[in-house]
Every structure is written in structure tokens, then in C-alpha cells.
A and B are shown apart, each in its own frame.
Chain A
């Protein structure tokens, strides 16, 4: 047999005046609270939005879905190295010497042909480290936020596929 001693919560002794004081403070503080909440009944703007009907624009530097503008990519692999979760797959081959010389938007010569540029969005943690190291600023975060899909395979974005390249007109300005 074991005896367990528990300490009791300290409760102030209840006196006759204390009893009435209790009631008084309870009513008073409740009324103050009700007064504060009552102000919210009228004269307040609605703070929520009705989401599927009303869609909010995210701020311009929101870190949402990634987009790689393959035309300006020089296949430097820096994004893949910086990625902490290793979700960027790049493959490139050396550009043939007799092929016409091409340059990116900012004048960097492209020496490698990009064969594969895929980001597994299901693994991506949206930290933004890949976009900051990109030397030609071709890899950017867009402000799209609705891209749920049914299969894991469809979360893998191949940025050389024509349907994803088609976003370019919408995302890349000038």
C-alpha cells in the first residue's frame, strides 16, 4: 500500500463580502467583454473571402509553383545542388560545335543542350533556394497556388514538355 500526497489548488477563503464582490466583478467583467464583442456586430468589414468564387492574388514574390524557362537555362545544375530535398532532375549533353551559337536573354552563351528538366513538385518544399542561385534567372516561383493533382506522377513537371512550355507566355513577361 502506498500513500500519494497531492497538493490542492490554493483557493482564497470565501468571506461574506467576498461573495458579493465576486458576483460584482463577474457581472462587471462579463459586461465589459460583451461590450467589446458587441462592437463587432455592426460596422466591421468582412475579413474572409468566399474562396472558390473569389480568388485572391498572391503577392508578386510569393513562393509557389516553380517554372523553368528552358530557353534561358544553361544547365549549370546549381539549382539541383542547392535543393535541400533533391527534387530537381536535370540532364544535359554538350552542344555540338557546329551547331549555331545561342545565347540567353542576358547574353550568357548556352554551351549545353538541355535534355531533361524535371521538378518533382510532390517533393518540393518551396524554400526558394534554387531560384536564388540561378545565374540566368530562368527558374522562378510563380504565384499559381492551385495545382493539386490525382497522381504522384503528374506532380512531376517536365519543363521541356509542350504543355508546360505553353505557360511561358503567361509567366515570362517581356
Chain B
């Protein structure tokens, strides 16, 4: 699709940043936006090229966000050009890594200062290390929090600063017992609303589909 704006951007990127392998991801079900995927190693050059190109001039970084898939992490840079009225979702694929070996990508703070907080948030929530960030800390969770909440396999840590996270005394156990008792009394899970999510989540699905 070289006539669309995405097509032009891909052409421009492949020409100006050799080796960035820009490709268009067309929308799957023909709805929504298409995005452009580039090599993660070239992200800084790509962003610089996009910002300083006279043709596109993506002068505003709207947001940096990550998405956790089962086999990879995709970090999306949503760029906008206020002078040319354009919008672009730029993506880079990274391995998932693990807790001690987070995936790494170059920071783009030198291109847009807006990336400062956005990259900190992405690190906090998804767990991507941005190399070259001037002030690399967590932002929304406490600075010494463990884990990255928006990963799909995130489990809340049990202890934080010697305090029990989610202590049973503060948990509304009465509610859980209430629901459990109801289920046992009635015996038919389809006839009881599942008020707490546990291993019987499948049964709740049945109840949902039953309508």
C-alpha cells in the first residue's frame, strides 16, 4: 500500500534508516488502525528520522506503551504530527525476558522529552528497560516494588517492606465465605452468582453464556 500515508512512511524509513525493516501491520479484521513495526535496535534512529523529516515531522510523542503477549512484548510509540496532522503507531518487538533480565531498548528521551515519564511508566507497568534514560525509576508503584503489574503472569508480591500485602484480616473474607456457603448449599453452580474469582472461573463463564 504505497499510496497510503503508512506506506509512504515505511518507504521513507527503509530508505533513511537502513536495516530497520519497517513493515505495515494491516488491521486484522479490517477495523481499527494499522501500525508500523521496526527493528527494536534501530528505534532511536527511526524516531529521530521521523521527527526531523520535513515530510512527516512527528513533533509530538503522545504515548509509549507496552503490551505483553505470550511470546513477546510489543512496545508501541504513538506519535503525532501537529503540523501535518498525522498519527502513527510505531511498534518494536522485544523478547519477554524475565525478572532479572528485562528486555532492553534504547531510550528516546533525547528526541522528545515527553518520553521521560512515558518510559518510566512503561518500565513500571510492563517491565522494559530503556537504555540511556536520564532518571530511570518506577513512577506509579513504590520505588522498591517488585514485579510489573501489567504483565499477564504478574503475581502480587507477598511482603513489601516487612508488611504483608493483602493481609487476610483486611480482606473481606466474610464475602468469600458467604459466596462459598451459598454454592455448597445450592449445589448447582449455575444457579449461584459467582461473586469471587477462583479456580471455578470456568463455571462462571457457563453462567454468562447461559443467558
Contacts and interface: CB of A to CB of B under 8 A. Distances in A.
A92 B175 contact: no
Interface stretch (B9-17, B20-28, B184-192): B184-192
Interface string A12-33: 0000000000000000000000
Interface residues of A, number: 24
Contacts of A153: 174
Interface string B143-161: 0000000000000000000
> What secondary structure prevails in chain B residues at the interface with A?
helix
B71 interface: no
Contacts, number: 56
Q: Which of A75, A116, A156 has the most CB of B within 10 A?
A: A116
B8 interface: no
Given A81-B207, A152-B172, A88 B195 contact: yes
B113 interface: no
Contact of A93 (B178, B188, B193): B188
Contact of A81 (B183, B192, B211): B211
Contacts of A78: 211
Given A112-B191, A152-B172, A91 B182 contact: yes
A28 B136 CA distance: 52
A63 B58 CA distance: 45
B193 A89 contact: yes
A121 to B, nearest CB: 12
16 contacts: A77-B207, A81-B193, A81-B207, A86-B193, A89-B182, A89-B192, A90-B192, A91-B186, A92-B186, A92-B191, A92-B192, A93-B186, A118-B178, A120-B175, A123-B175, A152-B174
5 pairs of A and B residues whose beta carbons are closest in the complex = A80-B193, A90-B193, A91-B182, A92-B191, A91-B192
Interface of A: 75-78, 80-81, 86-94, 112, 115-116, 118, 120, 123, 152-153, 156
